[in-house]
């Protein structure tokens, strides 16, 4: 089953013939099951074969044309979902492979989950069916012009008026304007709006409200509502297909029952009342959203790596000085040392994302049983993984662009747009630095409780082994010893624990805990990263303990796991050395083993990215074509540009010709 949309020439056939494993079996390992492979393949091909979903000219469209194209694709996708009676799993995959950010992303990803998570059963029965049928289109209006990560600082107000049984939603300042919500600018009819609830003269903090924004008859803004798009964003095409919006309220009245009241409510008399439902249930939605973001990181990174690996196998540059054939770029050790850790990271993020799905289910089951014991750890874990994977992926996509040389800078390579679409993940759903500081606070609290005998749980369980990990020395004597999972895991645990304990000790010396935390925040960030990287390494090793069928699959995944871990060790060598986890010689041995692992991955590199099973349509890259027929495709793409519609450029008569004639005249003087 080759993930190719067409093409008679297969320049990468020789590369695929060198693979030492069953590619179809690796597809199953990547997707999670044979069923998942089949459903993925079916939905990807359904989209690739539909001319409405073409996207090869997307970067050449004006902003208005691009947005209209997005509306068309979203409507057509919904039509196909209904016509084919697709399951929810199939519908989600179809939208994924359409691969164009738009209002439906926020409608399904934030608006509906917010109502399900925070609305009463009665509210869900009223609003969710309308949303599921697209009788209304929703967005999630939380971030404001003046506040993002600091949700408690939001300024929009919702003041209860007992005379009319209504909330009055208002934007008291310019900075209270809602700013950034996707789908808000032009498409949404409704929003879940987060505002300060004020009743009986008291401010009860941030709560959610369902507010209608536009008429369902002609789509015009309702009285008291000012809204529009916030303007063009980074990159051509890219996230500019999304209508991120601005919204201001001028004393807009909504019925009291449009406050989301699952966790708290306001009575007819204006009394604020907490419900019996514990507020911790909201954490389940947060875990779900962050798990989705980590899964998206593996998709984006694997796309970039797929393009870079395939093109590196096609591109030849330099060679023997005796006039022999030029060398494949993928054969250069410098290319391998930059590219193969990114390939390993794509697999690592995929598998930790799978584990997060399990964590979400586990957290929800515990919450329903009123067991909140694992919530702090789950919150810290998901916050950290969101931060580390999105930052690393954004950097990796840019690295893949550079690995493709000059051609990677062309829009037709697919990499500039992929980067521009992905990079907002570093700030939405929590700024990455802020999230890591939350992880650090949790780690400091965990360390402080060790003396009392409280056993840490889940991903912090290793801290319970503090006496050993604070003293242990790595037993690695040869490069081959670094292939032992126990040896790798031990030094990662020791590094993470020692960095956390060191931060805690330094904070204790400060005049106050908050002052110490602020002063040591750069060190705390590094401690949080060390902890999160340990989680990823651990979950990759745990994946290898599963029954992975297929010839050579486990061996290849073991190589990638070791590359991921040893590359991190090499990159953060200062941490491992300064904390005394390893010696300089052991660090050198790790680097030596890395080189050997790169050599083992080299014959399998193209097949390993084939296992992602991406169609040419989804990759949207002439450099990453399945058949490797890159140069004719690059040449053909150039002629599609609107600038080439005429031989003589527009503006020649007005600007170029007079200039040239003037120069010609001067040259005769």
In sequence order, the β-bridge partners of residue 246 are 179, 228
Maximum alpha-carbon separation in the chain: 94
CA 21-24-25 angle, to 5 degrees, is 65
Q: Report how far residue 360's alpha carbon sits from residue 348's, in angstroms, rounded to the nearest whole number.
A: 18
Q: Is 8 a catalytic residue?
A: no
Question: b/e string for 338-355 if b means 16 or more Cβ within 10 A?
Answer: bbbbbbbbbbbbbbbbbb
> What local confidence, expressed as pLDDT, does residue 320 receive?
66
Task: Average the pLDDT over 272-278 and give the result.
Answer: 84
Q: Is 180 exposed, middle or buried (0-12, 13-18, 19+ CB in 10 A)?
A: buried
- Give residue 363's pLDDT band: very low, low, confident or very high (50, 70, 90): confident
- pLDDT over 70 percentage in the chain: 97
> What local confidence, expressed as pLDDT, does residue 280 receive?
72
> What local confidence, expressed as pLDDT, does residue 372 receive?
83
In sequence order, the β-bridge partners of residue 199 are 202
- Give residue 282's pLDDT band: very low, low, confident or very high (50, 70, 90): confident
Task: Average the pLDDT over 626-631 and give the result.
Answer: 96
State the catalytic residue, choosing from 144, 166, 417, 429.
429
Task: Average the pLDDT over 76-97 and give the result.
Answer: 96
Query: What stretches of 369-425 show up as alpha helix (H) in DSSP?
Result: 375-403, 415-422
> What local confidence, expressed as pLDDT, does residue 5 receive?
47
pTM for this model (two decimals): 0.93
User: Is the pLDDT reported for residue 1 higher than 50?
Assistant: no
> What local confidence, expressed as pLDDT, does residue 4 receive?
43
Distances (CA, A) of 53 to 75, 380, 620: 11, 39, 12
Rounded to the nearest integer, the mean pLDDT of the chain is 93
* DSSP reduced 3-state for 660: helix
């Amino acid at each position: 089953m080759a993930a190719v949309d067409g093409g008679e020439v297969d320049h990468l056939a020789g590369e695929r013939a060198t693979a030492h494993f069953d590619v179809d079996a690796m597809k199953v390992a990547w997707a999670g099951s044979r069923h998942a492979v089949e459903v993925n393949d079916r939905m990807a091909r359904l989209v690739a074969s539909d001319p409405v979903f073409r996207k090869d000219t997307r970067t050449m469209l004006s902003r208005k044309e691009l947005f209209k194209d997005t509306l068309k694709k979203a409507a057509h996708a919904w039509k196909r979902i209904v016509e084919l009676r697709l399951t929810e799993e199939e519908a989600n995959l179809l939208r994924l492979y359409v691969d164009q950010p738009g209002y439906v992303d926020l409608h399904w990803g934030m608006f509906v989950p917010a109502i399900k998570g925070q609305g009463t059963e009665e509210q869900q029965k009223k609003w969710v069916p309308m949303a599921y049928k697209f009788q209304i289109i929703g967005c999630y209006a939380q971030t404001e012009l003046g506040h993002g990560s600091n949700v408690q600082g939001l300024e929009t107000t919702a003041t209860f008026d007992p005379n009319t049984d209504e909330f009055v939603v208002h934007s008291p300042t310019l900075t209270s304007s809602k700013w950034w919500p996707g789908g808000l600018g032009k498409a949404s009819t409704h929003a879940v709006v987060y505002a300060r609830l004020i009743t009986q003269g008291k401010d009860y903090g941030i709560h959610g409200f369902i507010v209608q924004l536009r008429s369902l008859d002609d789509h015009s803004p309702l009285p008291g509502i000012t809204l529009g798009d916030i303007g063009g964003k980074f990159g051509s095409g890219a996230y500019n297909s999304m209508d991120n919006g601005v919204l201001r309220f001028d004393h807009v009245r909504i019925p009291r029952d449009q406050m989301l009241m699952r966790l708290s409510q306001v009575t007819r008399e204006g009394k604020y009342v907490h419900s019996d439902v514990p507020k911790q249930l909201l954490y389940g939605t947060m875990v779900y959203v962050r798990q989705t973001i980590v899964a998206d990181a593996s998709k984006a990174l694997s796309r970039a790596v797929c393009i870079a690996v395939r093109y590196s196998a096609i591109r030849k540059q330099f060679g023997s000085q005796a006039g022999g054939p030029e060398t494949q770029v993928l054969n250069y050790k410098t290319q391998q040392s930059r590219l193969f850790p990114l390939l390993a990271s794509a697999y690592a993020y995929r598998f930790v994302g799978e584990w997060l799905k399990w964590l979400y289910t586990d957290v929800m089951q515990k919450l329903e049983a009123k067991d909140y014991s694992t919530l702090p750890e789950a919150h810290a874990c998901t916050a950290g993984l969101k931060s580390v994977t999105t930052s690393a992926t954004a950097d990796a996509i840019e690295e893949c662009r550079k690995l493709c040389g000059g051609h990677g800078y062309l829009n037709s390579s697919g990499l500039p747009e992929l980067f521009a679409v992905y990079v907002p993940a570093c700030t939405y759903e929590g700024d990455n630095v802020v999230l890591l500081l939350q992880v650090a606070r949790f780690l400091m609290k965990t360390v402080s409780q060790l003396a009392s005998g409280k056993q840490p749980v889940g991903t912090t369980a290793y801290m319970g082994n503090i006496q050993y990990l604070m003293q242990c020395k790595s037993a690695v004597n040869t490069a081959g010893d670094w292939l032992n999972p126990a040896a790798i895991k031990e030094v990662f645990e020791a590094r993470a624990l020692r960095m956390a304990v060191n931060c805690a000790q330094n904070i204790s010396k400060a005049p106050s805990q908050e002052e110490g935390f602020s002063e040591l925040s750069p060190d705390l960030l590094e401690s949080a990263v060390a902890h999160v990287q340990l989680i990823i390494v651990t979950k990759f090793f745990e994946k290898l303990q599963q029954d992975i069928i297929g010839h050579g699959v486990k061996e290849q995944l073991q190589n990638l796991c070791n590359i991921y871990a040893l590359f991190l060790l090499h990159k953060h060598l200062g941490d491992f050395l300064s904390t005394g986890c390893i010696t300089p010689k052991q660090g050198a041995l790790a680097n030596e083993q890395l080189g050997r692992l790169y050599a083992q991955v080299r014959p399998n590199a193209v097949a390993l990215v084939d296992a992602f099973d991406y169609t040419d349509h989804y990759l949207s890259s002439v450099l990453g074509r399945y058949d490797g027929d890159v140069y004719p495709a690059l040449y053909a793409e150039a002629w599609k540009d609107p600038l080439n519609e005429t031989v003589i450029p527009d503006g020649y008569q007005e600007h170029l010709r007079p200039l040239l004639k003037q120069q010609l005249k001067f040259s005769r003087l």
